[in-house]
Structure 1
Amino acid sequence: MRTMEGFRKELGHIRRPVDGRIFALKLAVLCSLVAGGTALVLSGTAWLMAFGIILLGLMYAHAIELQHEALHGIGLRGSRGNVVAGVLLGIPMLISFAAYRSAHMRHHRLLGTPDNREFFDYGDQYGEGSGSRFRNAVVWVYRFSMIGHYANFLAVCARLAAGRRLPDERPTAMRGIRRDHALLAGVLIAVVTASVVTGSMLAVWLWLLPLVVANPVHALIELPEHYGCDTDTTDSLSNTRSIRSSKLMAWFTNGNNFHVEHHLMPSLPIAQLGELHVALEGRHRFYHRTYREFFRWLLSGGTAGRPGPLLQPSESG
């Protein structure tokens, strides 16, 4: 059987230089939609405000998918640009670019081993657990609310404020983590203080309520990546899932649907993952044609021992 390294060498011709213009366009679209959502919320018309809140929530979740591209250094050509963009993209959901990058790179190295850990703590990350209906309901509420992420953010802030380091983090990563948490905590404190002093509800309408949308949407975007896959192997074709999806969902998830491809070649620019997906036809172990198909499988009782249908691109029409 051909090894992962063999696949990478075989498919190396797909790799092309990073085109920062594509990422810049994604950022421009994001900013435009955030501005549009803000205008709708400020309109004062109930149904327009509701639509604006939903749009902002969707864009906050989308921003984290763009942050993921930046942390791999494949958004813009220069490392400084990726860092600046990544830090700013994480502000709405209080996600440290440096902490996410450090944990995510470990995840890429250690997926399929007992030491693998994800940055976002969803509980029962890969669909391996079992329990009562009540316990399972609690796990899903925990996952979709992202309580674990915000609790960890506050815990890290407290730890850093006390002058303590984080275990397993190198000095270079720690500098970035301190920078990010100082910025995020500063923004949070400034917004809360301004809201209390002025009596304004803008922070609620433009930030808190959109997060009620963004949190479960982000969890849903990341759920299919490894859920129910063979996460006891380092083979990217078996421990990760890809979803062919529509162009709209491929944009919204920023190529996260091509997750096998991303794990196989993590330094490949997002815009080239579709080409790699075609080159891998017939080799995916866990594959779905649409997100709807994946969630139908999940709701029908999908578990780690019951993979999704082995559907290949040629079958999807």
Structure 2
Amino acid sequence: MTPDASTASPEDLFRRAKLTAADERIFIVKLVFAYGIWAIGVTLALFVGAWPIRLLGVVLIGAMYCHWLELQHQCLHHSAFRRARLHRLAGVPLGVPMLVSYSHYRVRHLQHHRYLGTDQDSEFFGFDSRQLVTWPALIREALAFGRLIGSMADIVRCWRGTWSYDMGQISKDRERDVEAEYKLFALPLLGAAVLVVLGHGDLVLWVWLLPLLIAVPLHFLVELPEHIMCDNSTTNVLSNTRSITGSWFSTWYTNGNNLHIEHHAAMVVPINRLRDRHDITLAFAAHTSPSYPTFFRAIAREASDNARAGRSPKQ
């Protein structure tokens, strides 16, 4: 049981908690719900004639592709299932639409947890939270479709046998896992090409390409609050990370990514249990926001202030 914030200490944020059958059931329900919303989006995008409804379908599909990465993130930490091997089994498909290799993401992300607040910190998606907040940087990162091209290049390198990990050393088993997943990604890409050749390009357009125009910027917005405008010169999670109280909707959609201080303090604790620690975060953390709109207004002010002052990343 989580102590009351009035009697708790920061150390209570770091307590471990055993994954239970109830936690596993909650994650399975999240998976089923996410795939169900995706199916509704596909139905609206493909089988409804009215353009506004079809576009709504595209938005739902794209929103789920982003949401799936947050579910994949929980699998990375092995905090979804009691049997470890199920995490990769569930996690690999969740990354397919955005070409995110589960094993590659896992290695890089766990390094991020290990090296947060040091010069060795480097997240999988490449956004540097230590950079100056400017409108050009925000727009560039929100439209970072080049990561998809990078994933395609990794697919080619894996098939050629020339892929190697570029952020340190990993085991041969992990290398094989990463290579196998990138090779697997060739199948949906070839399938999409075949559909286009056979005259079914509209299926590829409406279920994959157009939703990516939604998913990529949305994912950036979900990830942005984690460490930006925090103290990135310290390894203290109470200073280098941000949590957002948020609503039930934002907590569900980000799969608890809003409770990011709590997650970094105890990364193997099931995400559905992090809310119980939020009052402790509010009592001791340096960077918290009550809602996403509050956070994004602060980011907009910072970017506008930097623009008015003529500040640039080179300064």
Give the TM-score normalised by structure 2: 0.87
User: More displaced, 103-112 or 293-302?
Assistant: 293-302
2:106 maps to what in 1?
Answer: 101
Using the aligned pairs only, state the percent identity. 35
Kept after mapping to 2: 8 A contact 1:229/1:286: yes
Which consecutive unaligned segments of at least 5 residues does structure 2 have?
1-8, 307-315
Bigger shift: residues 207-216 or 164-173: 164-173
Alignment of 1:263-302 (within 5 A): 263-301=264-302
Name the amino acid aligned to 2:38. V
SS at match of 2:302: coil
Q: Give the Cα separation in 1 of the matches to 2:205 and 2:250.
A: 28
Distance 1:225 1:302 in 2: 17
Amino acid at match of 1:39: T
The offset of 1:33, in angstroms, is: 0.3
Tell me the distance in 1 between the aligned counterparts of 2:146 and 2:229.
21
1:13 shift after superposition: 6.0
Question: Structure 1: how far apart are the matches of 2:153 and 2:45?
Answer: 32
Partner SS state of residue 248, structure 1:
helix
Are the structure 2 counterparts of residues 302 and 239 from structure 1 closer, same or farther at C-alpha, using a change threshold of 3 Å?
farther
Cα distance in 1 for residues equivalent to 2:187 and 2:179: 12
Q: CA deviation at 1:82?
A: 0.9
Q: Is the 8 A contact 1:70 1:83 kept in 2?
A: yes
What residue number does 2:17 align with? 15
1:118 matched to 2:123 = yes
Alignment of 1:24-173 (within 5 A): 24-42=28-46, 43-122=48-127, 125-129=128-132, 136-137=135-136, 139-164=137-162, 165-167=164-166, 168=168, 169-173=170-174
C-alpha change, 1:29 and 1:199, in structure 2 (3 Å) is closer
Residue 128 of structure 1: how far off its partner (Å): 2.4
Between the aligned partners of 1:106 and 1:13, the Cα distance in structure 2 is 21
For residue 11 of structure 1, report the CA deviation from its aligned partner. 4.8
Q: Is the 8 A contact 1:245 1:291 kept in 2?
A: yes
Preserved contact between residue 120 and residue 148 of structure 1 (Cα < 8 Å): no
What are the equivalent positions in structure 2 for 1:233-248 lying under 5 Å apart?
Answer: 233-248=234-249
Question: What is the CA–CA distance in structure 2 between the aligned matches of 1:143 and 1:32, rounded to whole Å?
Answer: 30
Q: Provide, for residues 102-154 of structure 1, a one-character-per-residue CA deviation record: whole Å limited to 9, x for no partner.
A: 000000000111111010023xx215237xx7xx52x3333112224213212
RMSD of Structure 2 on Structure 1 (CA): 2.1
State the match for 2:3 in structure 1: none
Secondary structure of the residue that 1:201 maps to in structure 2?
helix
Matched position secondary structure for 2:277: helix
CA-CA distance at 1:162 after TM superposition: 2.6
Structure 1, residues 283-311: CA drift from partner, whole Å, max 9, x if none? 110110000000011111169x9xxxxxx
SS in 2 for 1:49: helix
Name the SS of the counterpart of 1:119 in structure 2: coil
After superposition, the Cα gap between the structure-2 partners of 1:50 and 1:249, relative to the gap in structure 1 and judged at 3 Å, is same
CA contact (8 A) 2:244 2:291 kept: yes
> 2:16·2:268 contact (CA, 8 Å) conserved in 1?
no
Which deviates more, 279-288 or 141-150?
Answer: 141-150
Question: What amino acid sits opposite 2:165 in the alignment?
Answer: L
Query: Is the contact between residue 14 and residue 266 of structure 2 (CA under 8 Å) also seen in structure 1?
Result: no
Runs of 4+ aligned structure 1 residues displaced above 3 Å come to: 10-14
CA–CA distance in structure 1, aligned partners of residues 213 and 120 of structure 2: 32
On the 8 A contact 1:261/1:277 being kept in 2, the answer is yes
Alignment of structure 1 residues 177-192 onto 2, 5 Å: 177-192=178-193
Q: Which amino acid aligns with 1:260?
A: I
CA contact (8 A) 1:228 1:302 kept: no
Greater relative contact order (Cα 8 A, min sep 6): structure 1 or 2?
A: 2
Separation in 2, partners of 1:96, 1:22: 24
Please report how far the alpha carbon of residue 14 of structure 1 lies from its aligned counterpart in structure 2 after TM superposition: 6.8
**Partners of 2:45 and 2:53 within 8 A in 1:** yes
Structure 2 counterpart SS, 1:281: helix
Provide the rounded CA distance (Å) in 1 between the counterparts of 2:94 and 2:229. Answer: 29
AA of the residue aligned to 1:17:
L
- Structure 1 residue 62: deviation in Å? 0.4
**Equivalent-residue separation in structure 2 for 1:264 and 1:40 (angstroms):** 41
- When residues 78 and 226 of structure 1 are mapped into structure 2, their CA distance, relative to the original with a 3 A threshold, is same
Q: TM-score scaled to structure 1, two decimals?
A: 0.87
